[in-house]
Amino acid sequence: MSSAQLIDGKSMAQDVKRELASRIKRLESEAGVRPGLAVILVGDDPASEVYVRGKIRDCRDVGIRSEWIRLPDSNPEEDLLRQIDRLNEDPRFHGILVQLPLPRHISAERVIHRIRPEKDVDGFHPINVGKMVIGQEAFLPCTPYGIMEMLRRSGISVAGKHAVVVGRSNIVGKPVSILLQQADATVTLCHSKTRDLAAHTRRADILVVAVGKARVIGPEHVKPGAVVIDVGINRTEEGRLTGDVDFEAVRSIASHITPVPGGVGPMTRAMLLVNTVRAAERTAGIGQG
Ligand SMILES: Nc1nc(=O)c2c([nH]1)NC[C@@H]1CN(c3ccc(C(=O)N[C@@H](CCC(=O)O)C(=O)O)cc3)C=[N+]21
């Protein structure tokens, strides 16, 4: 039985990190600038802790200064906003990331609004979202940016293809549908109210799945030879990580497929580093844009 080519996000992320090392050296030698990222974590959700620890380690690996600001779960929103104001003014930090989700008493919308768009390396600020939509240079949200980079690095052409995105979240489904469309794909965006999901997904040359539920996509949803990008991160009862796609069943149908773990997740992290270095280059007047 034939088997899809694995899109190895882990090794691609290592390539991205190697490429960043030379840009970081240039920043240092030409402008005396060391890129810096501040990460704020409110509360002590263990999953968020793991993610933030990973981001801090990534920064250290490539030579980005980082600071992990831990605030208690009970931290008032006003105080968090003041911390953001302080970081907005601190020239050592070119990027600010507030880990989501936030405790219920804090408005993610107000928090995201407060970050200066020039330091919004998550690409969540409405200014960056708006610029992205109209095709202007902007910080792209890390997961959609990572997906486009994975397609590019795999030599998968997007122009003229039919791309189907499942999931319409603000951080993945919606923005990746826009980026695919800007790369000249014909895009269908499916969501929880879509009727006959399989009828849509079976037409996909490129299928991006970002629902957050294991096995929403099985072999009956996939056209032979399709490229399948699995954004889901779910935990099985045995505690294993698994995506939204029935990997074993779909891999014999698809031409390319991303694994979970080791697919989109590592590239999401890598693109955060790219955005942070880009933010630093901008302040130093280096590079394009
Ligand atoms: N402000 C903000 N920005 C984010 O970008 C953000 C966030 N909040 N909140 C949570 C989500 C989730 N997210 C992940 C990134 C990488 C992996 C990743 O590297 N996953 C590994 C597995 C890691 C593991 O073993 O748990 C993989 O897929 O191979 C996972 C999840 C970023 N997020």
Over the stretch 143-169, which tens digit does the pLDDT of each residue have?
A: 999 999 999 999 999 999 999 999 999
Residues of the chain with pLDDT under 50: none
Q: Which of 36, 194, 199, 190 is nearest to 121 (CA)?
A: 36
Question: Which CATH number fits the domain that encloses residue 191?
Answer: 3.40.50.720
Residues 110 and 146 placed together within one structural domain of the fold: no
Over the stretch 231-250, which tens digit does the pLDDT of each residue have?
A: 999 999 999 999 999 999 99
Residues 247 and 197 placed together within one structural domain of the fold: yes
68 part of a folded domain:
yes
Residues 109 and 209 placed together within one structural domain of the fold: no
Residues 70 and 176 placed together within one structural domain of the fold: no
Residues 108 and 149 placed together within one structural domain of the fold: no
Question: Which CATH number fits the domain that encloses residue 102?
Answer: 3.40.50.10860
Residues 78 and 192 placed together within one structural domain of the fold: no
Q: 91: which DSSP letter?
A: T
pTM value is 0.97
Q: Choose, from 99, 174, 230, 244, the residue flagged as catalytic.
A: 99
16 part of a folded domain:
no
**Which runs of E-coded beta strand occur in 171-255?**
186-190, 206-209, 227-230, 234-235, 241-242
Is 168 marked within a binding site? yes
Residues 103 and 170 placed together within one structural domain of the fold: no
Domains in the chain: how many in total?
2
Q: Which domain holds residue 75?
A: 32-118
Type of residue found at 211: V
What residues does ligand 1 touch, defined as CB less than 6 Å away? Answer: 50-51, 97-100, 122, 142, 233, 241, 260-262, 265-266, 268-269
Pick from 83, 118, 153: which residue ends a domain?
118
Whether 55 is catalytic is: yes
2 part of a folded domain:
no
Report CA(47)–ligand 1 centroid distance (Å): 9
